[in-house]
Structure 1
């Protein structure tokens, strides 16, 4: 189990400290960037000015995109990314082990 780390992020001009497993820091940062992109798009349209409504619309847009995006037989993108990350970590661990054996 990964240690929990505190990550400082900025959303809608506000600072937040979010606890996340150490292995998920980059995924959290990617999520923040995705949310900021959606927020910026909504703000640029100029139809909604209230911060809470912008945040809700951005979250709904992301949820909608996620539900529409499926890979293969119902495998969600997030699950697909987790599996790729796990395979990558296993490969890295195997390479480290083989390098230690060589030296």
Structure 2
């Protein structure tokens, strides 16, 4: 069964628009409309921009700018996280490699001492 798109009415700067959207997208579309309406009202109230088209362009530019800043911050933090994870992985690998060397050296010492029947050096808590 194919779902028909919804016809959703949104209001931006006191003007209504009918938008087709999927049922599962309606909450995000409503939130987007509220965000845009809020930004446009802020710009209109500032009095520096006149005309609905210009207000809409300024609001769109501001929202796009915010999106780019968020993407950059996310990319930067993901890079930091990747670097930190690599450092932790290196430390773990180094510790495991060191632990294997210690086990080998302890086992070698116990064999040299004639304690061949003990398994204790191989067991870890």
The aligned length equals 74
Q: Residues 6-45 of structure 1 correspond to what in structure 2 (within 5 A)?
A: 6-45=7-46
Which structure carries more strand by proportion? 1
Change (3 A) 1:2 1:60: farther
Moved more, 5-14 or 16-25: 5-14
> Partners of 1:3 and 1:25 in 2: how far apart?
13
Which structure carries more helix by proportion? 2
Shift of 1:26: 0.3
Shift of 1:30: 0.2
- Structure number with greater CO (CA < 8 Å, separation at least 6) is 1
Structure 2 unaligned runs (5+)?
80-125
Matched residue, 2:109: none
Structure 1 unaligned runs (5+)?
75-103
- Say if 1:2 and 1:23, in contact at 8 Å, map to a contact too: no
**Please, what TM-score do these two structures have when normalized by structure 2?**
0.54
Matched residue, 2:85: none
**Please, what TM-score do these two structures have when normalized by structure 1?**
0.65
Runs of 4+ that moved beyond 3 A: none
- Say if 1:6 and 1:19, in contact at 8 Å, map to a contact too: yes
Matched residue, 2:78: 73
Greater C-alpha radius of gyration? 2
